[in-house]
A and B are shown apart, each in its own frame.
Chain A
Amino acid sequence: MAFPDRSRISRRSLLKASAAGGLVATTGGISATFGQGAPVNFTSWSAAVDQVRSHVSAFERATGLKVNYENFPWAQYRTSVVTRLVGNAPMDVLWVSDAWLPEFAEAGWLATIDDVPELMKYNADAAQFCTQSMVYKGKQYGLAYYGDHMSFIYNTEILQKAGITTPPTSWEEVVQQSLKIKQSGGPEFPMLMALGIDTWLIEFMSALVFAHGGRFVDASGNAIMADANRGVVEAVSWVREAIHTHKIVSPGAVETTEINALRAMGAGQHAFAIVPTYRLRALNDPSQAPAAGKLRPALMPRGPRATASATCGWIRFYGMTPGAKANAGRRANAVRFMEFFGGKDTTGSYTLQKLLLTDVGLPFCTTPLSADPEVQAFWTRWAGGGDVIAQQAATAVKKDVIAPWFGEWNETANAAWQSVFLNRATPQAAATAMAAKWKDLKG
């Protein structure tokens, strides 16, 4: 019932595949024995669409397989995907956020790839942080699409005008420099924060908490977020004071989403911001941002008790559905697709990973690529060098609130953060509410 056209499609694409002739014979010889005429159903959110499409074209040419590529807007993505998973819509490979891994794995919506050596071999080339982020309860669930972290960036021109020579290294310094910038006729709100209710909020807040040397939960997964001096309360207090005491962050920040913040930063309206590192590419592109060339990364400022500059990292990855894995033909195709996209393509290189970086700015998880001269030229061109970013990436910590109940907890957390930013609740009260919800959900 759900696949009325299955046989027709397979026949048509089989014909196509045989028409492709020689190519299929050389590259797809073995898996052809599985009778894999069916297309690969690939579902993603609508990011890097042109890069993905061009790689899909390459995949279709190289393998003779057909790809049904569908994308949904990021904000609707989880709902759309869950509807399709529950409704048994045809899906083989999909993009997954690290935040959903436990939930999806527990629900049986993702297949482990531990027993797929063709994919597991890429772990040897992958940054440890990335691989760990795809592991849940000891099993790995995919190959990386990209891995990134939150970067602290500053506008060199605005700092210069205010007579500031080096970017801040502590949050205290962020306040002082911001006040100095305000006094010397710079922007009214030197520090830009995107505190609107948005999927990025937890990543911003995690970056701030980690930069304060803090954590939300301890090693055994129990909430420590409400404990004073464990990071959360300090980080939230800093933001509240930045808005209400020092007035260096706009009170409109509570309705500013990540994308809107980006526009303002690119327009040169603020001195400091925390952004996903991949946005540096767009922010320093003169055709997109008036402030291009002036926006540079610095190490994340530290909180009073932090011993090192830390930030929050995340990854997004290719996952396979259990439905695809259970069927030999679909499984073979899905594996080839995942390898071609998340590993090396049939030319033996990490083509897409490089494309995603140079076109869109998305950092990769495949360490060998870092030595590539084009990659190094990229960082020099768009970020004034790759050292700070590499150094910061090494300190990236994955969101420690990732759990099967993350989504529900995050709803409470979002409201709690905002109540502090609006000065409607104390940092301690908000942290306590979050901790209570965590305990409740953890059971």
Chain B
Amino acid sequence: MADTWADRLSRKAGYDERSAAILILPVFVVLMVVALYPIIYSFYTSLFDIVLTRPWRRPFVGYGNYARIFQDPMFWVAVQRTTVYTVVTVSITTVFALVVALLLNEAFPGRRLLSALILLPWATPSIVNGLMWKWIYDPGYGLLNGILVQVGLLESYTVWLGNPDRTLFMIANAAIWKQMPLAAILLLVSMKAIPQDLYRAATVDGANVFQRFWHVTLPALKPGLMLVLVYETMISIRHFDLFLIMTQGGPGDASYTLSWQIYVETFRNLKFGIGAALSYLLAIATFVLSYLFIRGFGSKS
């Protein structure tokens, strides 16, 4: 009766530790139920040869699923496609967002309107986003062909999504369109925290616009950039919705990414073991990249 766990804790730990524990507890409860269990379960699944249409036999295969994946030529195709897509999406989104954030950080008439407008893509559900761009790229009726032909840049209607050399970039464009606003806002929020004194001091020292950007803004933006890079990488590397709506991995295997392969193996071929193993490989890649970004940008100078 006398000893509750809180009492015991308070005797062992100081006020800081106790407060921290209480403040973090709700998050851990949620994550425990909804995230941690599924994560462990899916790792467990990845060690078995589970095929849903064969419910009576699900042998333990250890690293067998992983071994099979490495021998599957489609896996290496998917790795290549995922890499191209992620690098293109993350790098362009980040640079684009930085430009937009710098623009919105300036004071000029119409800024409020502009900053409201850039929220449009963010508010567009990715399913609608995919549909909209697919409709714009349509080889028969699409707006893109319409504009380019009317302006005279293109002689006749051409194929965009159905051209394997273009597919990934067309999808990346739809992704960048949608992801840029959040990235820009995160950077903008980060810029807002930069003390104006630093700029004044720099100006007094005779620094021009670029020097101020390079020596004041950029270093102060490091945490913001890290956030953006980590987040964009995490969602781009496993992006799925656009591929489902726009190309289904095609044409041919031109947009056959890892997340598409996971979907096909899990929900079409109903091979849960292989699907889980693929997911773990993708998770490891995501983790390593995120860690590098956090290490690279997170340290305080």
Direct contact of A and B (CB under 8 A): yes
Is B17 an interface residue when CB atoms closer than 8 A count as contact?
no
> Most chain-A Cβ atoms within 10 A of its Cβ — which of B52, B53, B256?
B53
Interface string of B146-167 (1 = CB under 8 A from A): 0000000000000101111000
CB contact under 8 A between A107 and B162, given known A197-B250, A414-B250: no
Is B54 an interface residue when CB atoms closer than 8 A count as contact?
yes
Cα A324 to Cα B163 in complex, Å, equals 48
What's the minimum C-beta distance from A67 to chain B, rounded to whole angstroms?
A: 28
Q: Are A422 and B252 in contact (CB under 8 A)?
A: yes
Q: Which of B19-27, B88-96, B100-108, B265-273 contacts A (4 or more CB under 8 A)?
A: B265-273
Is A108 an interface residue when CB atoms closer than 8 A count as contact?
yes
Residues of B contacting A79 in the complex (Cβ-Cβ under 8 angstroms): 267-268
Name the residue on B nearest A253 (C-beta): B162
Q: Are A411 and B250 in contact (CB under 8 A)?
A: no
Cα A57 to Cα B253 in complex, Å, equals 46
Residues of A contacting B217 in the complex (Cβ-Cβ under 8 angstroms): none
Q: Are A106 and B248 in contact (CB under 8 A)?
A: no
Q: Are A251 and B162 in contact (CB under 8 A)?
A: yes
Name the residue on A nearest B253 (C-beta): A415
CB contact under 8 A between A415 and B256, given known A82-B52, A196-B250: yes
Additional A-B contacts beyond A107-B54, A256-B162, A415-B256 (15; CB < 8 A): A82-B52, A86-B52, A106-B53, A251-B159, A252-B159, A254-B159, A254-B250, A254-B252, A255-B247, A255-B250, A407-B270, A415-B250, A415-B252, A422-B164, A424-B252
Q: Are A107 and B55 in contact (CB under 8 A)?
A: yes
Q: Are B55 and A108 in contact (CB under 8 A)?
A: yes
What's the minimum C-beta distance from A89 to chain B, rounded to whole angstroms?
A: 15
Q: Are B159 and A197 in contact (CB under 8 A)?
A: no
Cα A421 to Cα B161 in complex, Å, equals 14
CB contact under 8 A between A411 and B269, given known A197-B250, A252-B140, A418-B250: yes
Residues of B contacting A86 in the complex (Cβ-Cβ under 8 angstroms): 52, 55
Find A252's partner among B139, B253, B264 (CB 8 Å cutoff). B139
What's the minimum C-beta distance from A356 to chain B, rounded to whole angstroms?
A: 28
Is A404 an interface residue when CB atoms closer than 8 A count as contact?
yes
Residues of B contacting A424 in the complex (Cβ-Cβ under 8 angstroms): 164, 252
Q: Are B161 and A255 in contact (CB under 8 A)?
A: yes
Find B249's partner among A250, A252, A415, A422 (CB 8 Å cutoff). A415
Would you list which residues of chain B between 149 and 203 have a CB under 8 Å from chain A? 159, 161-164
Is A103 an interface residue when CB atoms closer than 8 A count as contact?
yes
Number of residue pairs across A and B with beta carbons under 8 Å?
79
Interface string of B243-280 (1 = CB under 8 A from A): 00001111111001000000010011110000000000
Q: Are A106 and B54 in contact (CB under 8 A)?
A: yes
Cα A404 to Cα B53 in complex, Å, equals 9
Q: Are A422 and B53 in contact (CB under 8 A)?
A: no
**Interface residue range, chain B:** 20 to 34
Q: Are A419 and B253 in contact (CB under 8 A)?
A: yes
Residues of B contacting A107 in the complex (Cβ-Cβ under 8 angstroms): 52-55
Shortest Cβ-Cβ A-B pairs, 8 listed: A252-B139, A255-B162, A107-B53, A254-B251, A418-B252, A419-B252, A197-B248, A197-B250
Is A25 an interface residue when CB atoms closer than 8 A count as contact?
no
Q: Are A250 and B139 in contact (CB under 8 A)?
A: yes
Q: Are A418 and B264 in contact (CB under 8 A)?
A: no
Q: Are A411 and B248 in contact (CB under 8 A)?
A: no
Find A264's partner among B140, B161, B250, B253 (CB 8 Å cutoff). B140
7 A-B residue pairs with Cβ-Cβ distance under 8 Å, sorted by A, are: A107-B52, A196-B250, A251-B159, A252-B162, A254-B252, A411-B264, A415-B252
Cα A107 to Cα B55 in complex, Å, equals 7
**Interface residue range, chain A:** 20 to 34
Q: Taking beta carbons and an 8 Å cutoff, which residues of A are in contact with B?
A: 78-79, 82, 86, 103-104, 106-108, 196-198, 250-256, 260, 264, 269, 404, 407-408, 411, 414-415, 418-419, 421-422, 424
Cα A72 to Cα B162 in complex, Å, equals 28
Cα A251 to Cα B164 in complex, Å, equals 11
Interface string of B51-87 (1 = CB under 8 A from A): 0111100000000000000000000000000000000
Name the residue on B nearest A424 (C-beta): B252
Cα A51 to Cα B140 in complex, Å, equals 33
What's the minimum C-beta distance from B182 to chain A, rounded to whole angstroms?
A: 28
Residues of A contacting B164 in the complex (Cβ-Cβ under 8 angstroms): 422, 424
Cα A251 to Cα B249 in complex, Å, equals 18
Residues of A contacting B140 in the complex (Cβ-Cβ under 8 angstroms): 250, 252, 260, 264, 269
Residues of A contacting B249 in the complex (Cβ-Cβ under 8 angstroms): 197, 415
> Most chain-A Cβ atoms within 10 A of its Cβ — which of B164, B250, B256, B270?
B250
Residues of B contacting A197 in the complex (Cβ-Cβ under 8 angstroms): 247-251
CB contact under 8 A between A411 and B268, given known A106-B54, A404-B53: yes
What's the minimum C-beta distance from A97 to chain B, rounded to whole angstroms?
A: 14
CB contact under 8 A between A422 and B251, given known A82-B52, A106-B54, A411-B269: yes
Cα A265 to Cα B248 in complex, Å, equals 24
What's the minimum C-beta distance from A205 to chain B, rounded to whole angstroms?
A: 15
Name the residue on A nearest B156 (C-beta): A188
What's the minimum C-beta distance from A174 to chain B, rounded to whole angstroms?
A: 21
Residues of B contacting A255 in the complex (Cβ-Cβ under 8 angstroms): 139, 159, 161-162, 247, 250-251
Residues of B contacting A252 in the complex (Cβ-Cβ under 8 angstroms): 139-140, 159, 162
Residues of A contacting B52 in the complex (Cβ-Cβ under 8 angstroms): 82, 86, 107
Cα A86 to Cα B269 in complex, Å, equals 14
CB contact under 8 A between A407 and B250, given known A103-B53, A251-B162, A264-B140: no
Cα A22 to Cα B168 in complex, Å, equals 65
Cα A408 to Cα B162 in complex, Å, equals 23
Name the residue on B nearest A107 (C-beta): B53
Interface string of B114-147 (1 = CB under 8 A from A): 0000000000000000000000000110000000
What's the minimum C-beta distance from A252 to chain B, rounded to whole angstroms?
A: 3
What's the minimum C-beta distance from B15 to chain A, rounded to whole angstroms?
A: 45
Residues of A contacting B264 in the complex (Cβ-Cβ under 8 angstroms): 411
Cα A133 to Cα B251 in complex, Å, equals 31
